[in-house]
C-alpha cells in the first residue's frame, strides 16, 4: 500500500504529514491510498468509522458508478478511463469517502490523483485552500472528466484517419477497425452517461453548498462529450458507407476490365477456332486457307467497333478530371438557373 497524506488550510499545504486531529485545528485532510490490502481497509474503516457495506464494495472492486449518502460520510464510485490502444479501453474505479473536513481516495496504482491534486492547489492558489474539503473533491472529479475529453480527442483522430483510409484503401482489416471504433464510441458514451448522473446528483442535491461552483461547469462539459461521442458514432457509420461504396467502385472497375479483356480475347479465340476448322497446316504456313483474308478483315472490324463502343461509353481511353470549387459552384448555378427557367416556363404556360 502507498499512502499519501495532505493537510491544508488557507495559509499552507502540508504533504506527508497530518492526521484526523488536525481537522479540529482548522485543517482539511486528504488521504490518498493506492492498492490497499484488507488489513489497511479495516484500519481506515475503524479510524474514520466508514460504513461496512461501502468498504465491502472496495473489497469486491466494484466498478459501478454511484453515490451513496451514509450516516456521517458519503461514498462515490467514479471511473477513470485510459485509452492506450483501440482494442482496449481501460476502466479503473476511484473510490471517494468524504466527511466533515476529510477526504479519502482509494484507487489502483495506474491512477495518479496526487499529481492532479498538486496541480489543483497550484493553479487555483488560495481558492481551494480557503474552501471546504468539498471544493477539493469536486475539483478532482472535474480533473477526471478532463481526461475524458483527451480520450475522446484520441478517438476523434482515429475516426478521421480511418475515414480517409476507407475512401482510398478499403480492406477487410479496415472494416474490423471500424467495428472496434464503433464499439469504443458506444462504451465511452455509456461511461459519460454514468459520470453525468453522478455530477447531476451533486449539482441538484448539494446546490446549497457554496463550493458546488467548482462542479457546475463540468455538467455542461460532460453533456458536450456525450454529443461528441454520438457524432463520432455517426461519422463511423458514414465511414462504413464510404467503405462499402469504395468496394463497389473497385468491383465495378474490376468487372469493366474483365469485360474489356473478354471482348478483345473473344475474336482471337474465334480466329484460332477458324484456323482449326479450315485445316490450317502449321507445317506449311505459306498455304493460306480460302477466304481467310475476308474472315480476318471481319474480325478486325469487329474488334475495332467493340473498342469504339467502349471509347464512346468512356470505358477506355478516358481521362479523369476534377472540378475545382469554382467549377462546382458554376455547375450548381447553371443547374439552378435551368431549373428556375423551367419553372418560369411552366408558370407562364399556365
For 45-67, write each residue's pLDDT tens digit. Answer: 998 989 999 999 999 999 999 99
Segment of 167-171, 281-285, 303-307 carrying the highest mean pLDDT? 303-307
**For residue 29, what are the contacts with CB-CB under 8 A and spacing of at least 6?**
5, 6, 7, 18, 19, 20, 22, 23, 101, 102, 103, 133
b/e per residue, 270-286, with b = 16+ CB within 10 A?
ebeebeeeeeeeeeeee
The whole-number pLDDT of residue 163 equals: 65
- DSSP SS3 for 221: helix
User: Measured on CA atoms in the order 230, 142, 212, 46, is the torsion positive or negative?
Assistant: positive
Segment of 5-14, 96-105, 281-290, 339-348 carrying the highest mean pLDDT? 96-105
Whether the pLDDT of residue 264 is over 60: the answer is yes
Compute CA distances 176 → 152, 173, 239, 251, 291, whole Å: 20, 5, 12, 20, 60
Radius of gyration of the chain (CA): 36
Which of 53-67, 93-107, 123-137, 276-290 has the lowest average pLDDT?
276-290
State which H helix or E strand residue 75 sits in. Answer: strand 74-85
* Rounded average pLDDT over 36-52: 90
* Rounded average pLDDT over 200-212: 81
The whole-number pLDDT of residue 31 equals: 93
Compute CA distances 171 → 158, 215, 315, whole Å: 16, 45, 25
Which of 1-5, 141-145, 180-184, 240-244 has the lowest average pLDDT?
240-244
C-alpha angle 149-154-245 in degrees, rounded to nearest 5: 125
Spatial separation of the C-alpha atoms in residues 145 and 79, rounded to whole Å:
9
Rounded to two decimals, what is the model's pTM?
A: 0.68
Spatial separation of the C-alpha atoms in residues 69 and 96, rounded to whole Å:
12
More confident residue, 152 or 334: 152
The whole-number pLDDT of residue 278 equals: 52
Which of 40-44, 167-171, 234-238 has the lowest average pLDDT?
167-171
Residue 317, CB-side half-sphere exposure with 13 Å CA sphere = 7
Whether the pLDDT of residue 165 is over 70: the answer is no
Report the chain's mean pLDDT, rounded to a whole number.
78
**For residue 40, what are the contacts with CB-CB under 8 A and spacing of at least 6?**
1, 3, 33
Q: pLDDT above 90 covers what percent of the chain?
A: 15
The whole-number pLDDT of residue 309 equals: 75
pLDDT confidence band for 171 (50 / 70 / 90): low
* φ, ψ dihedrals at 73, nearest 5°: -160, 180
* Rounded average pLDDT over 117-142: 83
Cell of 300: 478486325
pLDDT confidence band for 210 (50 / 70 / 90): confident
Q: pLDDT above 70 covers what percent of the chain?
A: 75
* Rounded average pLDDT over 229-257: 74
Amino acid at each position: 500500500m502507498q499512502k499519501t497524506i495532505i493537510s491544508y488550510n488557507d495559509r499552507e499545504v502540508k504533504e506527508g504529514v497530518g492526521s484526523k486531529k488536525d481537522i479540529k485545528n482548522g485543517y482539511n485532510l486528504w488521504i490518498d491510498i493506492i492498492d490497499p490490502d484488507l488489513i489497511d481497509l479495516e484500519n481506515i474503516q475503524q479510524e474514520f468509522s466508514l460504513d461496512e457495506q461501502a468498504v465491502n464494495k472496495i473489497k469486491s472492486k466494484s466498478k459501478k458508478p454511484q453515490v451513496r449518502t451514509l450516516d456521517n460520510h458519503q461514498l462515490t464510485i467514479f471511473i477513470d478511463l485510459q485509452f492506450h490502444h483501440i482494442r482496449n479501453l481501460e476502466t479503473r474505479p476511484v473510490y471517494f469517502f468524504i466527511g466533515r473536513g476529510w477526504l479519502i481516495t482509494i484507487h489502483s496504482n495506474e491512477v495518479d490523483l496526487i499529481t492532479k491534486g498538486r496541480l489543483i492547489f497550484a493553479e487555483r492558489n488560495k481558492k481551494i485552500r480557503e474552501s471546504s474539503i468539498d471544493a477539493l473533491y469536486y475539483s478532482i472529479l472535474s480533473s477526471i472528466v478532463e481526461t475524458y475529453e483527451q480520450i475522446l480527442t484520441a478517438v476523434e483522430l482515429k475516426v478521421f484517419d480511418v475515414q480517409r483510409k476507407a475512401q482510398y484503401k478499403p480492406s477487410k482489416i479496415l472494416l474490423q477497425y471500424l467495428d472496434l471504433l464503433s464499439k469504443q464510441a458506444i462504451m465511452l458514451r455509456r461511461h459519460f452517461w454514468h459520470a453525468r448522473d453522478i455530477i447531476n446528483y451533486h449539482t441538484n442535491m448539494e446546490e446549497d453548498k457554496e463550493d458546488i461552483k467548482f462542479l457546475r461547469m463540468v455538467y455542461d462539459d460532460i453533456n458536450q462529450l456525450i454529443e461528441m461521442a454520438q457524432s463520432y458514432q455517426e461519422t463511423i457509420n458514414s465511414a462504413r458507407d464510404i467503405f462499402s461504396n469504395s468496394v463497389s467502385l473497385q468491383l465495378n472497375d474490376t468487372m469493366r476490365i474483365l469485360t474489356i479483356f473478354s471482348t478483345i480475347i473473344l475474336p482471337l479465340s474465334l480466329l484460332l477456332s477458324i484456323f482449326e476448322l479450315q485445316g490450317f497446316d502449321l507445317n506449311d504456313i505459306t498455304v493460306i486457307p480460302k477466304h481467310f483474308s475476308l474472315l480476318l478483315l471481319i474480325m478486325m472490324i469487329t474488334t475495332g467497333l467493340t473498342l469504339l463502343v467502349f471509347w464512346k461509353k468512356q470505358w477506355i481511353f478516358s481521362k479523369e478530371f476534377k472540378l475545382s470549387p469554382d467549377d462546382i459552384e458554376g455547375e450548381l448555378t447553371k443547374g439552378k438557373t435551368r431549373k428556375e427557367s423551367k419553372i418560369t416556363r411552366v408558370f407562364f404556360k399556365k
